[in-house]
Amino acid sequence: MFDDLANWDWGQITYETLQYIGIFAFAISGALVGVRRQLDLLGVIVVGASTGVGGGIIRDVMIGVNPPTSLTYWPNLTVAVTASLLVFFFHPRITRSKHFEVVFDAFGLGLFSANGAAAAFAAGLSPMTAIFVGAITAIGGGMVRDVLVNDVPGVLTRELYAVSAMLGASCAVLLTWLTESIALASFIGALLAIILRLVSYLRGWQLPKPRAGRGLQ
């Protein structure tokens, strides 16, 4: 029994676990938006599941994985749909505060940015390309969610949203290069991205915006 456990690829298991947690968290954030917009059961599932797997699909299209993993690997979509159903049936307990939506979105953002970047770098992509892939993976699901409910994508307006994704991705690439451990790099990179996203939300940190002038009034 213990010999079998020793032969398991714990790095791959940890990577996939973090991937599932990211999908679950993003799907919850999307489903919460669907509930707030008074969508029906199908609408909540579509918005939630699209948020959960949307970033991964965009990533796969960019790096040439055809068809995208989430369209052929059933656990990804199953996790996203399950999270959406949980929100639909139990939302009165978790929709009283919008903070829940932000927290789940931050966890998805952090996990996807770090996990995606570490995996891309380990697969042989250059550091800059891996960071870009990780950031796109992180913000892609949120962009799909916002477009579906007719909102301006949060990456263009929310507190250090893209900056948090870039931080998580950059840290993950650096740690993957130093330690050759995707799991460790994903965990630490995700943690930093989550912290920055939540702190920026609580403190209202924003990137500079154009000064108000005659053309902007």
Q: Say yes or no to pLDDT of 19 above 90.
A: no
How many Cα neighbours within 13 Å face the side chain of 169?
28
Q: Which residue has the higher pLDDT, 181 or 207?
A: 181
How would residue 7 be classed by pLDDT, with cut points 50, 70 and 90?
Answer: very low
The contacts of residue 101 (CB under 8 Å, 6+ apart) are 29, 32, 33, 36
Q: Any idea where the domains of the chain sit in the sequence? A: 9-204
What is this structure's pTM? Answer: 0.82
Q: Say yes or no to pLDDT of 83 above 50.
A: yes
Residue 56 has which token pair?
Answer: 């991964």
28-80 pLDDT per residue, tens: 989 998 998 889 999 999 999 999 998 888 888 877 778 888 888 888 999 99
- Tell me if 109 sits within 8 A of 139, measured CB to CB: yes
Q: Say yes or no to pLDDT of 149 above 90.
A: no
